[in-house]
Amino acid sequence: MTRERSPLHPDPATKADMAAILGGRRMRRNRRTDWSRRMVRENTLTVDDLIWPIFIVAGSDLAEPVASMPGVERHSVDRAVKQAERAARLGIPAIALFPYTDPARRDESGSEALNPENLVCAACRAIKAAVPEVGLVTDVALDPYTSHGHDGLLAGEEIVNDATVDVLVLQALLQAEAGADIIAPSDMMDGRVGAIRQALDAKGFTNVQIMSYAAKYASAFYGPFRDAIGTSKTLIGDKRTYQMDPANGDEALREAELDVAEGADMIMVKPGMPYLDVLWRLKEAFGLPTFAYQVSGEYAMIQAAARNNWIDGERAMLESLTGFKRAGADGILTYFAPAVAEILKR
């Protein structure tokens, strides 16, 4: 009578067969211990990879919670200086500034964008005076300033391109004068990178860098951000005539190629996790410093799931950011920046 072999207890012949199949190659050996996993790790997240987006609001000693972004606040300029000082202590290289503009200051043309005393310009001057070693990234677009919530000038139902670029150039110059280190046009108007570069150079701002939102998609993941800057209730229609179709990847290569030719120093993909393939393709194609924006919706999803104990929030946060590095990102704009920096210091 032949005894049946148990699949849980293979006999020596089966073990020999397995050894022959593997040919001595056992991938799990390198994963067995913590020191070994660290030694063979292909990608490493460091504090140098982080850019911290901060929201600015008018007032003094204010920190207003953003309901749809747990843990994120709008800061008055004096409090924003404190956040910049915190960034310096944590070793975060740069912060990105986004304003919540009082609705009374918004109009059809976004004229507040050209006010030298607007929130972004005031924050730039205050932060540079207090913490000059922290890089400042400023957003060039009109949506925080327009009554209709669009990134450009509205003529009827059309966002007009060339007239918008003229305004964006003036906005960029004001920000550079206020102390911005990196101008980051997020509007997706054609030709704006070249026009901004020409204007900056003509005015002597040859060292001011441009980080182009080269591939910015018309995404559903921006909702909490629009709450934070106050445009979720003012936006008329949508932004699909100038932001990219989420179905397109080849188009991102063409967009980035134009921005690089026009003088972009760095390029960005936004949102992040749904577009890791695009991030990889841009990095491979151009070899330029390439960034990803882990947008508000990505942040809010991780936070919501963590607060409901559905996931381990800290591990999910670090895993998501490591994924950007694996896909080729040189850096990540993330609202998790201070929390991650604290963990890395640990």
Q: Which of 203, 233, 239, 270 is catalytic?
A: 270
pLDDT in tens, 125-172: 999 999 999 999 999 999 999 999 999 999 999 999 999 999 999 999
CA 64 to CA 72: how far, in whole Å? 8
> What does CATH list as the number for 48-345?
3.20.20.70
- Catalytic residue, chosen from 216, 239, 283, 325, is 216
| pLDDT-based confidence at residue 98 (cuts at 50, 70, 90) | very high
Tell the residue number behind the tokens 């669009």, with chain if given: 150
Q: In the structure, what pLDDT confidence band is assigned to residue 3 with cuts at 50, 70 and 90? A: low
Instruction: Answer yes or no: 216 catalytic.
Output: yes
Would residue 15 show up in a list of annotated catalytic residues for this protein? no
The pLDDT value recorded for residue 110 is 97
The secondary element (H helix, E strand) that includes residue 255 is helix 250-262
pLDDT digits (tens, 9 = 90+) for 26-76: 899 999 999 999 999 999 999 999 999 999 999 999 999 999 999 999 999
pLDDT score at 303: 98
Three-state DSSP at 54 gives strand
Cβ burial 210-227 (10 Å sphere, 16+ → b, else e): bbbbbbbbebebbbbbbb
Locate the DSSP E strands across the chain.
Answer: 50-57, 63-65, 73-75, 94-100, 135-140, 153-155, 158-160, 182-185, 209-216, 266-270, 290-294, 331-334
Instruction: Write out the H or E segment, with its range, that includes residue 20.
Output: helix 12-22
* Domain ranges for the chain: 48-345
